[in-house]
Amino acid sequence: MSDTPTTTSEQPKGAFIASLVRNNKKIREDRATAIQEAAQLLYKREVEDTDLKIKQLRREREALLDLSPTDANSLVLASDFKEKAFVEKDIDLGLKIRELEIVLEVAKTRYHYLFEEEKGDN
C-alpha cells in the first residue's frame, strides 16, 4: 500500500468506497442474500437434525428387542422381563418417531418451497 493520500484527480479504489457508493438496489440485494443464506442454513440443519433424531429413536426402539443385557449368550429371564414397561416404552418411542416423521415431512416440503423452487412454481 502506498502512504500517499489519494488526489482529487484519482478515483478511489477498494471495498470501502465500493460499499459507500452502492445503490439502494444493491444494498437490498446484499441484505437479502445474507438473510436468505442464514435462513436456508438453519432450515437445512433443522431437517438434518430431525432426520438424525428419527434414526436414533428407531435404534433405541430396536434395542428394546435385545433381551441379552449382559452379553450375547445371556437372555433376560421371563421373571425379570417387565411387559408393561416394554409396551409403554415401545409405544412411546413409536409416537415420538411418528411425530418427528411428520415434522420432517413438513420441514422438507417447506424447505423445497422456500429455497429450491423457481419463483412462481407452486
Span 14-49, pLDDT tens digits: 988 888 888 889 889 999 999 999 999 999 999 999
Distance (Å, rounded) from C-alpha 92 to C-alpha 61? 9
Count CA within 13 A, CB hemisphere, residue 82. 7
Write down the residue that cell numbers 502506498 correspond to. 2
pTM of the model: 0.70
- Tell whether 12 is covered by a domain: no
- Tell whether 3 is covered by a domain: no
pLDDT cut 70: percent of the chain above it = 80
Number of other CB atoms surrounding residue 97 within 10 Å: 18
| pLDDT for the residue numbered 12 | 85
Confidence of residue 117 (pLDDT cuts 50, 70, 90): confident
Distance (Å, rounded) from C-alpha 80 to C-alpha 74? 13
Query: Does position 4 have pLDDT exceeding 90, yes or no?
Result: no
The grid coordinates listed for 96 are 415420538
- Domain count within the chain: 1
73: domain range?
21-115
- Tell whether 88 is covered by a domain: yes
